[in-house]
Structure 1
Amino acid sequence: MPAAPGFYPRILALTLAALLAVGVWRILSPFAVPMGWAAVLAFLLFPVNLRLRHRFGRRPGIAAGTLTVLAPVVVLLPLSALSIEFVAQISGLLHRLQAAAPSYKLLSSGDLHQFPWAARIYQWFLAHAFLSTDEARTWMISGTRETLQRAAGLGGSFFLGALSSIAGVALMLVLLFFFLRDGDALIRRARSWIPLDEAHKERLFERLSDVTRAIVYGTTMTALVQGLLLGIGFTIAGLASPVVFGVAGALVAMLPLGGTALVWVPATLWLFADGRWGFGIFMTVWGIILSGIDNFLKPMLISGRAPVSALVVFIGVLGGISAFGAIGIVAGPIILSLVLSLILFAEEARGGIGPSA
């Protein structure tokens, strides 16, 4: 059976397009992380960029240049300092963990009489677990050590890994300048490539914009505020490694269940067990306030935009970190939500009804 007219030219065009796409990816992939951070910063700074454009007489180059010069001082230096302190505090926790067993002589379950509350928890755990005393102790110590080591690696790579070289920082700043100056033009160009009528394009981009803003401003910013306040609470209460547990609080704040309580509740119990009742009561009140912040802060930041499923955020954060490193905290939920939004849009276009992203 002869091929339809134009079949082979279409196959050739698709093959060439695929090869070109692979080539472009190979060229750009070494710069994916700096490009990603530049895009995130451009998105966060774009409202300020619009105000500066208006102040400078709608000259986008001057506005973008001003923000690009200020970005290293206002954003990059504080985050880099935070990463350094995070790694240093992780190292301190590792040393404390290694010294804990000899210091407290926790060599058998009988030694837990020093901490009656811990002995009860430990005995309950052994009664419901298929582990011996030695196996449980080894598992807890090795598991905690591995978790802290992984956290140290993640914290060290947050900015210093991908942007440790001067060239990486320079590339990110150059990209930030062009994203701020030409971002709206790039979006218009991308819209022109979509084979839909203008009404559908408008709906699609409005949906995608709402989802992105809900992720960045709603979920991510709320989690960062909660992590910051948790670190402040740890500092006031005199608890060790406030930066580490503040970062941990920001991460667990994105979980569908538990949230920052997974961090501040054990810390509060430790304060009570250690006899610091005043700080224990303080952390209890501080933690309750902290856990309730997202009930009003997130709706205020989203301002009626598209809601985003907590499950999507949770899976997106975990998968994003695994696939992209630290930038996956933001990129993972955004990519997953955008894909679900596109599926929803396609179902609506066909007359179907899809789940909310």
Structure 2
Amino acid sequence: MTQPPPRIVPAGDRFYARTFALATCLVLGLALFEIVQPFLGPLLWAIFIAFLLFPLHVRLAARLRGRSQLSAALLTVLTFVVIIGPLTALSAAFAAQVGDLLQIVQTTVADQTQGNVLNLANVPWVRDRLAWLNDTLDVDLAQIQGWIAQGSRETLQSLASLGGRAFMGAVGTVVGFVMMEFMLFFFVRDGAEMIGTLRELIPMAEAHKAKLFDHLAAVTRAMVYGTGLTALIQGGLVGIAFLIINFPSPLVFAVIAALLSLLPVGGTALVWGPAVLVLAAQGRWGAAIFLLIWGALLVSLVDNVVRPLLVSGRANVGTLTVFIGVLGGLAGFGAIGLFLGPVVLALIIALIRFRLEMRRTEKAMALSAESSPQSSS
């Protein structure tokens, strides 16, 4: 029995079907965004933490004889224990130290005398530059002191407004944290299946898809283990140094140093450098020299020694990509944007590169096809 010939779909019907499918996807996408948007922060954190825990989940599930549900439950509980305690303590300490530092700045601004901590004229090599500024730009010491005090006060007031949310605000309220933990269990347990489904939906050759996912995983882990862990180490070293020299609010400056270490220029020197000037202005030359040596030799070298060791074997992320991604991601997504921003930019760059490679391959195949008949003739 002969098969009937395939029915040719009119062009008008194909256009209608594609338009209907596109409109349906758009409506469903908007509806999905409205559903997810209220807890987008906890959702992104759950996905991010599940991605980091996945290699551990694979090994733990193998030790538990394939019981992936038990492995996911144990890792979810472990995440709760590791995160909730330290974050609660850090949040309370950070809020208290921000308040103390703000009080110090306000007291200093209210009592600006020749002997206060902002009197940079006490530092010999700074005095000459202050005189040059006064002669050239008509900017005197009182104006510089006012600018420093105003900027410090506004910065600390912004930090104080965050208060206890400085750390826990990464996932939102307590409800947001509970939701993150709930979603984390399912992302850890079913993450591999979700990634497999996503890979099948991508209209790309299997080799390119494998390369793309490997690159994305390498970039994410390079951001966490390289950039993120390096920032934590540098911030911790700054906090330890400030604690040793009895500088006020070491935890606050440690957090600020960790964030500034992500900048391509300045980095942690923007924290310990001004502190050296303040110590010198106070006449604490021993502490100033110690902090200068600590910052220049130990903190700054971490970026050149520790980061390459942590990123070794993983995809490195360009400095400009990290800088733009961190600032834009932080403004757009909050704390998770510190990692999400650079990863998204790296993914976009990878997609552009893959598309260029595909075009070059197609062009080379076309040129080869054109030259083949000529060579055979």
- TM-score higher than 0.5 here? yes
1:340 equivalent to 2:349? Answer yes
Deviation at 1:224, TM superposition (A): 1.1
Listed as ranges, the matches of 1:61-76 within 5 Å are: 61-76=69-84
Partner amino acid, structure 2, of 1:331: L
The superposition leaves residues 188-234 of structure 1 with CA deviations (integer Å, 9 ceiling, x where unpaired) of 11101101121111111111111111112111111111111211111
Instruction: Please tell me whether the aligned partners of residues 279 and 287 of structure 2 are also in contact (alpha carbons under 8 angstroms).
Output: yes
C-alpha separation in 2, matches of 1:349 and 1:225: 41
* 1:355 matched residue in structure 2: none
* Contact 2:216 2:343 (C-alpha < 8 Å) held by counterparts: no
TM-score by length of 2: 0.84
Between structure 1 and structure 2, the one with the greater Rg is 2
Aligned length: 349
Secondary structure at 2:279 match in 1 = helix
CA–CA distance in structure 2, aligned partners of residues 242 and 296 of structure 1? 24
Quote how far apart the aligned CAs of 1:296 are: 2.2
Report the equivalent of 2:324. Answer: 315
Deviation at 1:121, TM superposition (A): 5.0
Partner of residue 191, structure 1? 199
8 Å CA contact retained: 2:121, 2:281: no
Cα deviation 1:236-271 (Å, max 9, x = unaligned): 121111111111111111111222122122222333
Whole-angstrom distance in 1 between the partners of 2:339 and 2:205: 31
Whether the 8 Å CA contact 1:316–1:329 is kept in 2: the answer is yes
Q: 1:237 and 2:245 equivalent?
A: yes
Q: Is the alpha carbon distance of 1:264 and 1:113 closer, same or farther for their aligned partners in structure 2, counting shifts above 3 Å?
A: closer
Distance 1:162 1:30 in 2: 14
Aligned-residue offset at 1:106? 6.2
SS in 1 for 2:324: helix
CA contact (8 A) 1:163 1:169 kept: yes
Rounded Cα–Cα distance in structure 1 between residues aligned with 2:89 and 2:345 = 30
Separation in 2, partners of 1:321, 1:65: 30
Cα distance, 1:31 vs. partner?
A: 0.8
Any gaps of 5 or more consecutive residues in structure 2? 1-9, 362-377
**Structure-1 separation of matches of 2:99 and 2:137:** 30
Partner SS for 1:58: coil
Identity in percent? 46
- The CA deviation at 1:32 is 0.8
Q: Could you tell me whether the CA contact under 8 Å between 1:34 and 1:171 is conserved in 2? A: yes
Matched, 1:59 2:67: yes
> Corresponding residue for 2:291?
283
Once the two structures are superposed, residues 57-108 of structure 1 have per-residue CA deviations (whole angstroms, 9 ceiling, x without a partner) of 221111111111121221232123222322222222221111113334369x
1:253-309: CA deviations, max 9, x gaps? 111122212212222233333333333333223212111112222122222221111
Counterparts in 2 of 1:307 and 1:140: CA distance versus 1, 3 Å: same
Which residue, out of 292, 296, 315, partners 2:301? 292
Question: Secondary structure of the residue that 2:240 maps to in structure 1?
Answer: helix
Matched, 1:218 2:229: no
253, 260, 281: which one aligns with 1:252: 260
Determine the structure 2 residue equivalent to 1:19.
Answer: 27
Match of 2:186 in 1: 178
Residues 124 and 184 from structure 1, CA distance in 2 versus in 1: closer, same or farther, beyond 3 angstroms? farther
- For the aligned residue pairs, the C-alpha RMSD in angstroms reads 2.7
| Inter-partner Cα distance in structure 1 for 2:302 and 2:17 | 59
Match of 1:144 among 132, 137, 152: 152
In terms of mean alpha carbon deviation, does 49-58 or 201-210 score higher? 49-58
Q: Counterpart of 2:151 in structure 1: which amino acid?
A: G
Asked if the contact 2:109/2:149 (under 8 Å) is kept, the reply is no
For 2:34, give the aligned amino acid: R
Partners of 1:244 and 1:277 in 2: how far apart? 23
For 2:315, what is the secondary structure of its paired residue? coil
Summarize deviations over 1:310-347 as a string: whole Å, max 9, x none: 11111111111111122211221111221112112211
Which amino acid in the other structure matches residue 175 of structure 1?
A: M
Quick one: distance in 2 between partners of 1:54 and 1:136?
63
2 CA distance for matches of 1:106 and 1:116? Answer: 15
- The answer for the alignment partner of 2:366 in structure 1 is none
Q: 1:72 to 1:175 in 2, by over 3 A?
A: same
The structure-2 alpha-carbon separation of the partners of 1:126 and 1:342, relative to structure 1 and needing over 3 Å to count, comes to farther
